[in-house]
Amino acid sequence: MKTKLPYISYPACIPRILNKIKEAKTPDRFTYDFLETKLGFKGGNYKQFIPLSKKIGLINTDGSPTDLYKKLRNSKTSKHSMAKAIKIGYGELFERNEYANNLSAEELKGLIVEITGLEQKNQVVKLTCLTFETLKKEADFEAKPSVEPSEPEEKPDEAEGGKDDYSDLGLNLSYIINLVLPKTDDPAVFNAIFRSLRENLLRK
């Protein structure tokens, strides 16, 4: 069975629609009515964006926007999200070559011909290449996913037992000693340990 890679007949509309998506409120369902009424794209060529979006993971089969769609609208995660979407829609390209996004135009075309079994001059091959390249311009495959900032590390002068008090010309230091006692019932052992502590460490 020949693989059908995603493509639309008018790839040039993709960046325009994506820009409108980022401006508009996220809908409950991304429908043709939303595309025409809210985003302002009327006509059959524009309608192809919806099945394309479903294939690359921006919209669920029921039309509801996915997390990738929502992250696409965030300027900090937009390009990373599009890179993930491309890898979803063109999974077989990346299975054949994990760096498919770095292929030259001719190399990409050759890989698409290999996967689809179509002739090199076939219009579908041309449109698949153009759709992939157009989407790729909206993506950054090197971008790192956005993460929540970690808790700030505790400063040494705020940690328990590690306070340094610089006052006048004196220096006062305090420490916490963790003592692991041996398992024994002989009181003489404990007496010897604490006597040693008192004589060697606890002197002023």
Mean pLDDT of 68-74: 96
Could you give the angle at the alpha carbon of 105 between the alpha carbons of 101 and 106, nearest 5°?
120
Question: Measuring CA to CA, which residue among 141, 151, 100, 108 is closest to residue 127?
Answer: 108
Phi/psi for 59 (5° steps) reads -130, 140
Residue with tokens 């037992």: 161
- Residue 151: pLDDT above 60? no
Neighbours of 113 (CB within 10 A): 17
Percent pLDDT > 70 in the chain is 73
> What burial letters (b/e) apply to 73-88, b meaning 16+ CB within 10 Å?
beeebbbbbbbbbbbe
Top pLDDT among 143 and 126 is at: 126
Question: Measuring CA to CA, which residue among 78, 81, 83, 82 is closest to residue 23?
Answer: 78
Top pLDDT among 163 and 67 is at: 67
Mean pLDDT of 173-185: 65
Q: Cα 182 from chain centroid?
A: 50
Model confidence, pTM: 0.69
143 band by pLDDT with thresholds 50, 70 and 90: confident
pLDDT at residue 178, as a whole number: 65
Highest mean pLDDT among 107-116, 152-161, 173-182: 107-116
- Residue 117: pLDDT above 50? yes
pLDDT at residue 154, as a whole number: 44
What are 193's two structure tokens? 């340990």
* Residue 73 and residue 26 in contact, taking contact as beta carbons nearer than 8 Å: yes
pLDDT at residue 1, as a whole number: 42
- Residue 161: pLDDT above 70? no
Residue with tokens 């689809």: 116
Neighbours of 139 (CB within 10 A): 19
Mean pLDDT of 18-22: 97
Question: Using CA atoms, how far apart are residues 53 and 86, in angstroms rounded to an integer?
Answer: 10
Top pLDDT among 200 and 68 is at: 68
